[in-house]
């Protein structure tokens, strides 16, 4: 597993390098290859095909979920859910009464299933968590384009970030990005909870800033001011640590160094997703108000820095 983990980390690093240059689909291939290698190695280690099967099932569920979204001038009522579910390989709704389901509920059930399966695929492997995080980040960027090249890109981004935390609960990059997505869609309480857990374990400047933004939108002005102070203090500590220069430079590292730096220190237990009782608020921060977290490994720096400019 040590050898495979290093090889998988190399693919993750290549994926972020491609993403930095805008080659999102080539980057996607690198991230998926990393997950394939890890899931197959875990199968060999445990003597079961469970991990590679989970990877295939999760990816398939994301693809099949697209069938529940009407295209063009079609409406949700035009969709034949029993026929669609019967034709799918995803098992999650096979025993449900499809006539009583709405397309939105069906899609959400598929997304939950995909999240669970992708979390199993490379469970416990930091490189796998970073690969899932990379896939989520790519889908977030593509979702923001005027003509997205991937259908339902933002919901898929949520699935990938949640799966990244299921794979490795210490991935503060995924925790921050998931909180950004939740806050952007109005789930401010869930975003606040996730960011509070994140800064408790790894007090990154961007996470503190995002927490300040969420507090402000929730009307918690005093807490927002305190969080902004913590963000400024974290920035000062980061500048001191990096001697005021190294944090803005691109520095490629060897696979061993990458593997050592790609495991975040945060422990974000119990990944957060909106509960059925939580409704989105009528307001949410714009993308420009929230920030991606700076990566621990310099190999990730260009992609994040470009999105912050």
Task: Tell me the domain boundaries of the chain.
Answer: 1-168, 170-309
Smallest Cα–Cα separation from 195: which of 254, 266, 275?
266
pLDDT confidence bin for 149, thresholds 50/70/90:
confident
The residue-averaged pLDDT of 95-111 equals: 91
* 280 band by pLDDT with thresholds 50, 70 and 90: low
Region 180-197 average pLDDT: 90
Is the pLDDT score of 303 beyond 80?
A: no
CA distance 167 to 132: 9
d(CA 59, CA 170): 23
Of 19, 26, 28, 7, nearest to 127 by C-alpha is: 7
Confidence category of residue 229, pLDDT binned at 50, 70, 90? very high
pLDDT higher than threshold 80 for residue 118 = yes
Instruction: State the Cα–Cα distance between residues 230 and 271, nearest whole angstrom.
Output: 23
For position 124, what pLDDT does the model report? 87
- Residue 241 burial (CB count, 10 A): 10
Tell me the mean pLDDT in the region 30-43. 97
In this prediction, what percent of the chain has a pLDDT beyond 90? 55
89 vs 132: CA distance, rounded Å? 22
> What's the half-sphere exposure (Cβ side, CA atoms, 13 Å) at 284?
19
Give CA–CA dist 54/289, Å, rounded: 36
Say which range, 96-110, 140-154, 176-190, 250-264, has the weakest mean pLDDT: 250-264
> Which pTM does this prediction carry?
0.80
Mean pLDDT of the region 18-27: 92
Structure-model confidence comparison of residues 27 and 306, the more confident one = 27
The DSSP letter of residue 262 is S
């Amino acid at each position: 597993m040590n050898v495979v983990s290093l090889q998988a980390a190399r693919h993750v690093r290549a994926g972020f390098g491609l993403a930095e240059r805008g080659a999102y689909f080539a980057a996607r291939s690198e991230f998926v290859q990393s997950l394939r290698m890890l899931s197959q190695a875990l199968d060999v280690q445990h003597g079961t095909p469970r991990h590679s099967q989970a990877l295939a099932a999760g990816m398939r569920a994301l693809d099949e979920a697209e069938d529940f979204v009407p295209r063009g001038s079609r409406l949700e009522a035009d969709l034949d859910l029993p026929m669609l579910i019967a034709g799918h390989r995803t098992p999650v709704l096979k025993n449900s009464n499809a006539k009583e389901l709405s397309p939105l509920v069906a899609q959400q059930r598929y997304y939950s299933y995909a999240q669970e399966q992708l979390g199993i695929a490379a469970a416990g492997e930091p490189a796998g968590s970073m690969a899932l995080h990379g896939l989520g980040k790519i889908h977030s960027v593509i979702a923001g384009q005027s003509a997205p090249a991937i259908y339902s890109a933002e919901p898929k981004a949520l699935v990938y970030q949640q799966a990244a935390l299921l794979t490795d609960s210490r991935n503060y990059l995924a925790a921050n990005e998931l909180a950004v997505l939740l806050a952007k869609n109005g789930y401010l309480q869930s975003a606040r909870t996730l960011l509070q857990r994140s800064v408790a374990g790894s007090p990154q400047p961007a996470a503190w800033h995002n927490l300040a933004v969420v507090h402000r939108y929730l009307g918690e002005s005093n807490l927002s001011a305190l969080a902004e102070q913590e963000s400024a203090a974290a920035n000062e500590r980061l500048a001191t640590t990096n001697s005021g220069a190294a944090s803005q430079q691109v520095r490629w590292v060897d696979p061993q160094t990458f593997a050592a730096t790609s495991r975040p220190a945060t422990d974000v237990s119990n990944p957060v997703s909106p509960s059925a009782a939580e409704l989105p608020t009528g307001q949410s921060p714009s993308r420009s108000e929230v920030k991606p977290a700076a990566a621990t490994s310099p190999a990730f720096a260009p992609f994040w820095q470009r999105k912050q400019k």
